[in-house]
């Protein structure tokens, strides 16, 4: 099998490059001149950039080979996401690879502020030894307010629990169970979080809330403010004003609206502020993990898997193995349904069992459409562009949540009003289980390869099919039968050790009582 080709336009790190080269042919540059990128775009399956290049619509279009682009960093401001989605190009980044580094830096700043570490250092170096003038505060039992309980916010909460702080957070995009899982008290209104926080720290993208003077004044007198997220999230003039007034006792700032900050930035001229030059995610370990997370995501996308760091698909926040299991379950579901239902004359209905969190619905909708459309259209289709292609095809997919109680997460797909078309998969302890085939109950761990016949339930059919498969020297692992009623329509599922050749499928199709033959491989 031909290895994919990957272009790396800037330094990625030796560990990530070594990992990529185990699975792909890689051309890597310390810094490819941006003007030289356009002529190379046709030659690669994936392109990895950092900050020196912009992947615009002009660069992304008309490259049928290009399937993945990645930015080795947390943001994707220099990638045209809308165009990439339209062209079915997966966009990868490395969110949270520096989460531990950013969280630790947050506490580095807050300790520097509260224990007067920077001022104390300068005092000793100048010959002083006035301990009373540098009396500090403890973190113990202080009320920490976190704005944004994403990857960094969760790491901040973990460290805060170690200091035995009282931790609350505001994040309107997360369900209550996320807060509970991280032992963080959920606060519904940002103003309420500010009013009850001795220390307020923000960890959101640029689209997060803007902390203006009105909100900052809601903090208790003597509070501490921290920004190790994005410049511009805090009104710098307002923060400087409140520091000068003493309403805010101290601040730690790693990022600025303009970087580097201009000499007249008011924050550079106020007391009780500790600042660093955007060092939050800058550790050796974080740089290695950024490269590795990017490399893993690119290779997974090239192998038709769904990486958790895929940007232009609404990936749910699930443990990695849970996500991989659900991803395979929906691929099996959509792939089987597509082959068994050549003609679609009604809306599709995707049903989720009660145990599945509603947050998975947007992604599952796209993933089910992608699996269904995979072999039905000539253009590239994947989870990235499945919604766009479905709309062009006039397809409708409805999503509902079932209320029945089941032991394991389940998904089903059917034509609206046609229970006889329903395919159902479940996630068991050892992988994906097929629970229904065309409305007929089955219970079969889904294999890598399967041969399925739709046939008339009559004597001798099973034997003739098994004999013919054996004549082609293909070993049968398991055989499973299902039927609606005796002597009517039935299904037979054979798990195989090797892929069946087209010749075998044609021969089986000619057997008496066989209506349809389907082959499935490696969903």
Q: Which residues are catalytic?
A: 230, 259, 278
3-state secondary structure at position 319: coil
Please report how many Cα atoms fall inside a 13 Å half-sphere around the Cα of residue 480, on the Cβ side. 22
Which class for 198: exposed (0-12), middle (13-18), buried (19 or more C-beta within 10 A)? buried
Query: Which residue, among 398, 361, 412, 411, has the nearest Cα to 175 in the 3D structure?
Result: 361
Integer-rounded Cα Rg, in Å, for the chain is: 28
Q: How many CB atoms lie under 10 A from the CB of residue 417? A: 9
Nearest-angstrom CA–CA distance, 143 and 166: 5
3-state secondary structure at position 3: coil
> Do 403 and 420 contact (CB within 8 A), yes or no?
no
Nearest-angstrom CA–CA distance, 266 and 520: 65
Query: Which residue, among 119, 163, 116, 172, has the nearest Cα to 141 in the 3D structure?
Result: 163
What's the full length of the chain, in residues? 523
> Do 377 and 384 contact (CB within 8 A), yes or no?
no
Nearest-angstrom CA–CA distance, 498 and 476: 9
Whether the bond into 260 is cis, omega within 30 of 0: yes
Residue 262, CA distances (Å) to 256, 273, 470 in order:
10, 16, 78
Which residues are CB-contacts of 346 (< 8 A; sequence separation ≥ 6)? 415, 416, 417, 418
Query: What H or E segment, with its residue span, contains residue 371?
Result: helix 361-373
> Do 279 and 103 contact (CB within 8 A), yes or no?
no
Nearest-angstrom CA–CA distance, 23 and 3: 7
Q: What's phi and psi for 154, nearest 5 deg?
A: -70, -35
DSSP tag of 269 = G
Residues pairing with 454 in the sheet: 491, 516
């Amino acid at each position: 099998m031909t290895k994919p080709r990957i272009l790396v336009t800037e330094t990625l790190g030796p560990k990530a490059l070594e990992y990529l080269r185990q699975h792909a042919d890689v051309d890597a540059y310390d810094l490819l001149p941006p003007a030289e990128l356009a002529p190379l775009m046709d030659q690669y399956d994936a392109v990895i950039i950092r900050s020196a290049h912009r992947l615009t619509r002009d660069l992304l279009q008309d490259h049928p080979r290009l399937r993945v682009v990645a930015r080795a960093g947390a943001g994707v401001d220099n990638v045209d996401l809308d165009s990439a989605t339209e062209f079915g190009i997966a966009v990868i980044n490395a969110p949270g690879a520096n989460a531990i580094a950013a969280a630790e830096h947050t506490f580095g700043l807050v300790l520097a502020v509260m224990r007067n570490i920077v001022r104390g250092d300068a005092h000793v170096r100048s010959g002083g030894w006035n301990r009373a003038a540098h009396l500090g505060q403890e973190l113990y039992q202080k009320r920490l307010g976190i704005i944004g309980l994403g990857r960094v916010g969760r790491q901040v909460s973990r460290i805060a629990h170690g200091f035995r702080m009282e931790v609350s957070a505001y994040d309107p995009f997360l369900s209550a169970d996320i807060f509970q899982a991280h032992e963080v008290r959920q606060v519904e209104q940002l103003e309420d979080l500010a009013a009850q926080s001795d220390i307020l720290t923000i960890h959101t993208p640029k689209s997060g809330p803007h902390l203006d003077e009105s909100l900052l004044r809601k903090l208790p007198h003597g509070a501490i403010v921290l920004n190790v997220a994005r410049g511009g999230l805090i009104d710098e003039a307002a923060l400087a004003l409140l520091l000068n007034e003493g309403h805010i006792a101290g601040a730690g700032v790693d990022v600025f609206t303009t970087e580097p900050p201009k000499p007249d930035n008011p924050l550079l001229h106020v007391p009780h502020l500790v600042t660093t030059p955007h060092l939050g995610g800058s550790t050796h370990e974080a740089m290695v993990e950024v490269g590795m997370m990017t490399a893993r995501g690119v290779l997974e996308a090239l192998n038709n898997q769904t990486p958790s760091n895929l940007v232009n698909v609404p990936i749910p926040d699930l443990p990695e193995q849970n996500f991989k299991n659900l991803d395979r379950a929906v691929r099996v579901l959509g792939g089987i349904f597509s082959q068994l239902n050549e003609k679609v004359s009604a809306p599709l209905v995707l049903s989720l069992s009660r145990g599945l969190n509603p947050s998975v619905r947007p992604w599952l909708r796209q993933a089910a459409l992608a699996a269904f459309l995979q072999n039905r259209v000539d253009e590239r289709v994947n989870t990235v562009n499945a919604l766009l292609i479905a709309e062009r095809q006039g397809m409708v997919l409805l999503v509902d949540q079932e209320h029945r109680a089941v032991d394991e997460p389940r998904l089903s797909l059917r034509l609206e009003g046609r229970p006889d078309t329903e395919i159902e998969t479940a996630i068991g302890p050892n992988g994906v289980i097929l629970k229904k085939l065309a409305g007929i109950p089955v219970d079969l761990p889904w294999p890598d390869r399967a041969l399925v016949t739709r046939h008339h339930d009559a004597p001798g059919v099973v034997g003739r099919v098994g004999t013919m498969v054996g004549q082609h020297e293909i070993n049968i692992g398991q055989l499973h039968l299902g039927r609606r009623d005796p002597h009517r329509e039935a299904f037979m599922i054979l798990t195989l050790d090797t892929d069946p050749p087209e010749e075998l499928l044609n021969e089986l199709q000619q057997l008496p009582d066989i209506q349809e033959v389907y082959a499935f491989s490696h969903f």
